[in-house]
Structure formats: structure tokens, C-alpha cells
């Protein structure tokens, strides 16, 4: 099964189970072990996943870390678990840090509450000295599509820790810069205000002037974000709407090369596409399900064929719609509140596949 589909199924499971988990042991069983399984590790094989990994660390003896992942007899990943909803403070994972620092084969340290996973390595320091801040944070209940390729490098089948570590510094500092920019956007610091004020103001930057410019900088950033969102919406709305009866003609005749270069596939569109693949995985080979994005909608096709539309994701506006097709290829747009609502229309998607290929009844026991 495709790794992305496994993560989508795990996300749904975690969303349903997390509020029922009340203890750390329940967190391990209901949330963390399924995550390790999704990464491809055999959680029932102590040669791969070692619970309560014990060793002597410096002056402390018989300390335990919750899980250790083994490869070729070497411990490569350490996982410290907290009960769901606990504050994940990187400064208070001393046990994980001691193990990491004392184990030459350790490459990755993970601090988790079963939903949020903080990934650490030694990108900043000498080998085997764990960094104080994580290089990646992954929320299983709401996966960030941009981080899935990095997470894939830590799976059993695609293990490439060297590539993961080479990307760690980039991920870590990009994340830190994004957080800093977000903080400055909400409440600009004096240094940030001064940086812009001295480029546009020729006068003396007194305290009073800086106070005035603090509001101007904040409003300018907010306006910039607003303008970029507005520009994208105008671009999407400028594309003529497709006729309801012939969905494939629009894609073939109106998508010029210039329009294609303006298409930006969003995280929600990717999530919707993978949900459709997950729903249909037992109905049709997932490899036959393709995505083709346009300015006005994101199309999901069978065999990447415009004449075999499965559905359309209309996610550009404030109200999201999913377009479903009947045997005559008439499109019916159904409003949804969130991407997860696509699961409620699983039967409609399976029915559409039946228009193109014979569909065998599903084996409910599989």
C-alpha cells in the first residue's frame, strides 16, 4: 500500500481515537505503535522495535527509553513517549538526550504524544550530541504534505538517514524562520521595524517614529498577504466555468500552456486526491488514479484520461465543493465543510468507477 495512503488511514484513526486515550500506556498502544507500523516496522518483532529499551547512561543506570528502532542489530532511532495532550517541551526530554548522546549508532530522536512528533538529530553539534530543538514537527492527525517525503526517508523500506540528516538543517532553519516571520507579522519587534523604516524613511528614527512605523509595518504585511490571496482568487474566477455536460472538452481545449504555468496545487487538493485514492484502493488499482490540476478545479481521473473523470475538487473558493459524475458525465457539485467529508461520498466514487470498468464486490473481511 502506498505510504501516503497509509498515513491518510492513520490520520483518520488518530482523529477518532485520540480523545479516548487517557494514559501514557494507552497512547503507546492506540497511537504510537500504529504510527511505527505505518512506517513499515514490525511492532511485534523485538529485533526491530524494542519497547522499554534499557541501558546504563553515564552516572544513571537502568534508565529506560520507551521505544528503540533497530536496523541490522544497531539502534538507530529512539522514541520518548508522553500521554496524549502533554506539553512537548524539547528542553525537558533529558532522558532522550542522554540516550542519544551516549549511543554512537543513534541517528534520530523522537519526542511524541502520539499525535505530534518532534524529530531531533545532531545537525548543529558534533556527532551524537542531540540538538536542543527539533528539525521537523509532524502532526499525524493533520499531515503536512510537504513533510511526507522527509518522513518517508525514515520508513523501513526507504530508509535513507543520510539524506534525512542532510535535509535536517534546511528543515530546521526554514521552520524557525517561518515561526519568526509569523511572530513578527503579529507583533513586529523594534529590530524588524527598524530594518524597514530605515529603507523608506530619510529622517531620524526616534522612538516616536519607530512606534508609528510598527503599525505601518504590521499593516503592510497584512495587506501583502491579503493581496496575494485576492490575486489568486481573481485568477481562478477569471477562467470561464465548464459546461456541466462535457467535462473533458474544457480540459482539452481551454488549458493553454500559460494557464498551466499559473496552476498551484494546494495541500488540501493533494489531501483530497489521496483520500479519493484511499477510498478506491480496493475497487481499482490506486496507480490508475491520477490528478490533473487546473486553474478552476483539481481533476481526479482514471488512467489520466480526460474522458474518465472520477471527480473534481473545487477548493479555490471559500465554500468547497466536490464534483461527482453520472453515467452521462453530467457534473453535480456537492458542498463540503472539510476535506474529510469526501469519505461520506465513498459509494458515489465507487459507482463512478463502475461506469468505466467492471467492479467486483469488495471482500469485507480484507
pTM, two decimal places: 0.54
Residue 155 Cα distances to 6, 151, 160, 163, angstroms: 12, 7, 8, 13
Q: Mean pLDDT, the chain, as a whole number?
A: 82
Instruction: Determine the pLDDT at residue 190.
Output: 85
User: Cell digits for 335?
Assistant: 458542498
Residue with more model confidence, 161 or 258: 161
- Sequence spans of domains, the chain: 3-178, 188-238, 247-354
Query: Is the torsion defined by CA of 247, 252, 254, 258 positive or negative?
Result: positive
What is the distance, to the nearest Å, from the Cα of residue 356 to the centroid of all Cα atoms in its chain? 32
Residue 300 to residue 216: CA distance in whole angstroms:
44
User: Would you place residue 56 in the very low, low, confident or very high pLDDT band (cuts 50, 70, 90)?
Assistant: low
Does the domain spanning 3-178 belong to CATH 3.90.1570.30?
A: yes
Ranges 91-105, 260-274, 323-337, most confident? 323-337
Yes or no: say if 259 and 295 are a contact pair by the CB < 8 Å rule. Answer: yes
Q: Packing angle between helix 161-186 and helix 207-238, nearest 10 degrees?
A: 120
Amino acid at each position: 500500500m502506498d505510504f501516503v495512503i497509509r498515513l491518510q488511514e492513520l490520520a483518520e484513526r488518530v482523529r477518532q481515537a485520540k480523545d479516548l486515550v487517557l494514559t501514557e500506556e494507552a497512547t503507546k498502544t492506540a497511537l504510537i505503535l500504529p504510527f511505527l507500523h505505518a512506517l513499515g516496522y514490525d511492532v511485534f518483532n523485538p529485533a526491530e522495535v524494542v519497547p522499554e529499551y534499557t541501558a546504563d547512561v553515564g552516572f544513571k543506570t537502568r534508565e529506560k527509553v520507551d521505544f528503540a528502532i533497530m536496523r541490522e542489530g544497531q539502534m538507530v532511532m529512539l522514541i520518548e513517549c508522553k500521554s496524549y495532550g502533554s506539553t512537548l517541551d524539547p528542553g525537558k526530554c533529558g532522558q532522550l538526550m542522554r540516550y542519544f548522546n551516549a549511543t554512537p549508532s543513534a541517528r534520530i530522536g523522537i519526542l511524541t504524544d502520539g499525535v505530534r512528533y518532534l524529530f531531533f538529530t545532531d545537525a548543529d553539534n558534533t556527532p551524537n550530541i542531540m540538538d536542543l530543538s527539533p528539525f521537523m514537527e509532524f502532526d499525524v492527525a493533520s499531515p503536512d504534505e510537504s513533510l511526507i517525503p522527509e518522513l518517508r526517508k525514515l520508513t523501513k523500506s526507504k530508509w535513507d538517514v543520510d539524506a534525512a540528516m542532510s535535509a535536517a538543517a534546511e528543515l530546521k532553519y526554514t521552520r524557525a524562520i517561518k515561526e519568526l516571520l509569523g511572530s513578527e507579522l503579529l507583533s513586529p519587534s523594534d529590530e524588524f521595524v527598524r530594518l524597514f523604516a530605515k529603507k523608506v524613511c530619510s529622517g531620524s528614527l526616534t522612538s516616536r517614529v519607530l512606534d508609528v512605523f510598527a503599525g505601518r509595518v504590521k499593516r503592510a504585511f497584512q495587506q501583502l498577504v491579503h493581496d496575494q490571496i485576492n490575486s489568486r482568487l481573481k485568477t481562478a474566477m477569471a477562467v470561464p466555468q465548464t459546461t456541466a455536460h462535457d467535462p473533458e472538452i474544457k480540459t482539452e481545449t481551454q488549458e493553454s500552456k500559460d494557464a498551466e504555468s499559473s496552476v498551484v496545487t494546494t495541500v488540501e487538493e493533494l489531501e483530497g486526491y489521496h483520500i479519493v485514492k484511499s477510498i478506491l484502493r480496493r475497487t481499482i488499482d490506486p496507480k490508475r488514479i491520477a490528478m490533473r490540476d487546473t486553474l478552476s478545479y483539481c481533476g481526479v481521473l482514471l488512467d489520466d484520461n480526460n474522458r474518465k473523470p472520477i471527480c473534481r475538487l473545487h477548493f479555490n473558493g471559500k465554500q468547497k465543493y466536490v464534483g461527482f459524475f453520472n453515467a452521462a458525465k453530467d457534473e453535480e457539485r456537492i458542498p463540503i465543510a472539510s476535506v474529510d467529508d469526501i469519505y461520506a461520498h465513498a459509494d458515489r466514487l465507487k459507482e463512478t468507477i463502475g461506469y468505466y470498468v467492471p467492479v467486483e464486490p469488495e471482500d469485507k473481511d480484507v
